[in-house]
Amino acid sequence: MLATARRQLPPDGTLPGQWVAEQKPDGFRAILFARPGLVMVQSRQGADLTSAFPDIAAAATGLVEALVLDGELVVPHEGRLHFGELQNRARRRGRSAVQAAAERPAYLIVFDVLEAAGTELLRRPYLERRAILENLFAREVLAAPFTLCPSTTDRATALDWLDPAWGTVGIEGIVVKGSQQLYLPGKRAWVKVRNGMKCAAPRLVSKRHRDSRT
């Protein structure tokens, strides 16, 4: 599922259900398949990135529940989400990839769950999928290198995340979703707003190959 770029926040009622905003990190969009007999990190274009990110693959292999997760691969470095270091990671394979994983660990910032415990969730509303995702983190089924993408229903907080200062730590803006939206693969049904709007100063930041950005 993709997003359409807009210059400003959409008004209430634009999307199905309640208005929800998530932080948009500067990384590679990725789908993680963690099923019995299958672990794969897949790019937005369908490329297999598993061998480039053995740290993420190893963590997925250790999960106690079968899951399909949607999120953003990132590499923190020098106090920010560093896209250049992420690109370097994506080019490595074999022993070089293992060494790079030790030197510059990657994280998957998860913002959606598409399958859990063998149940496909695409036809469930976003609010329900988000609750399932939050529960996975609360029960510590998901832990580092997986991290939950921050979200808010507060418009003032969303505007705060659009301050340009957030860009200095690797947050590009926000993605706005509707609480009752189904997951529609390939459809540009979310709204993306890049930071740069004038608003209050940011608070501390919480814990996609460039043509893969959404």
What contacts 42, CB < 8 A, 6 or more positions away? Answer: 30, 31, 32, 33, 48, 49
Task: Say if pTM beats, i.e. exceeds, 0.75.
Answer: yes
CATH value at residue 10: 3.30.470.30
**pLDDT per position as a tens digit, 111-164:** 999 999 889 999 999 999 999 999 999 999 999 999 999 999 999 999 999 999
**pLDDT per position as a tens digit, 62-117:** 999 999 999 999 999 999 999 999 999 999 999 999 999 999 999 999 999 999 98
| pLDDT number for residue 199 | 37
With CA atoms as reference, report the closest residue to 149 among 28, 56, 22: 22
Give the pairing type, strands 151-152 and 19-25. antiparallel
If one counts the domains in the chain, the total is 1
| pLDDT number for residue 61 | 96
Q: What is the dihedral of CA 8, 199, 133, 64, to 10 degrees?
A: 120
Q: Which structural domain, as residue segments, surrounds residue 158?
A: 2-212
- Residues annotated as catalytic are 24
Given a cut of 60, is residue 213 above it in pLDDT? no
